[in-house]
Amino acid sequence: MSKRYQFNEEQIVELETLRKRNKDKNVEKRIKALLLYATGEKCERIAEQTEYAKTYITELVSRYRDNGISVIAGGNYGGNHRNLSLAEEESLLEPFKNAAKAGQMIGVNEIKCAYEEAIGRPLTSNGQIYDVLHRHGWRKVKPRSKHPNKATDEEIESSKKLTQWSEMNW
């Protein structure tokens, strides 16, 4: 049977102060599980109270033991998983921007190929290149559509004259 990890007083005080200033309910639940474990509660009882699996509770304790409070207090997702920095993306798009200002038609596939070459691997989806373009203010510009059987401007004006309510006499 393995030896149970023992929390010292400093760790318990650290968890309690974090619990007081915490506003995230998921972090609160993890802190509660650790505090229950620190008071000597069995993993089965902690699992019932927190609705965590027993294995997750032991994993939580070992992660806290190895890495400290930062593992418990959230911020594990990191965000901003871009391949290039904003400045690198800007410099990559600069030639395409100049070509667009000169009146050339720029295709997304050209930009995607240059981007994949810059990062050294293919993109997993086309949405990633559109995210890059959106981040830098690019948008798709296309002409306004016209119906093939649209009435002429004269017909439109004449129909307006026929149906104006202000000119009707009752």
pLDDT at 2 over 80: no
What 3-state class would DSSP assign to 140?
Answer: coil
Euclidean distance between CA atoms 43 and 55, whole angstroms? 8
pLDDT tens by residue, 92-133: 999 999 998 898 888 899 999 999 999 998 988 888 899 899
Average pLDDT over residues 78-90: 78
Cα distances (Å, whole numbers) of residue 55 to 2, 44, 52, 76, 166: 14, 10, 8, 19, 79
Confidence of residue 70 (pLDDT cuts 50, 70, 90): confident
The answer, yes or no, to whether residue 5 has pLDDT greater than 70, is: yes
Burial, 72: exposed, middle or buried (Cβ in 10 Å; 0-12, 13-18, 19+)? buried
Which is higher by pLDDT, 5 or 46?
Answer: 46
Which residues lie closer than 8 Å to 114 by C-beta, 6 or more apart? 92, 96
DSSP state letter for 80: -
**For range 37-48, the mean pLDDT:** 92
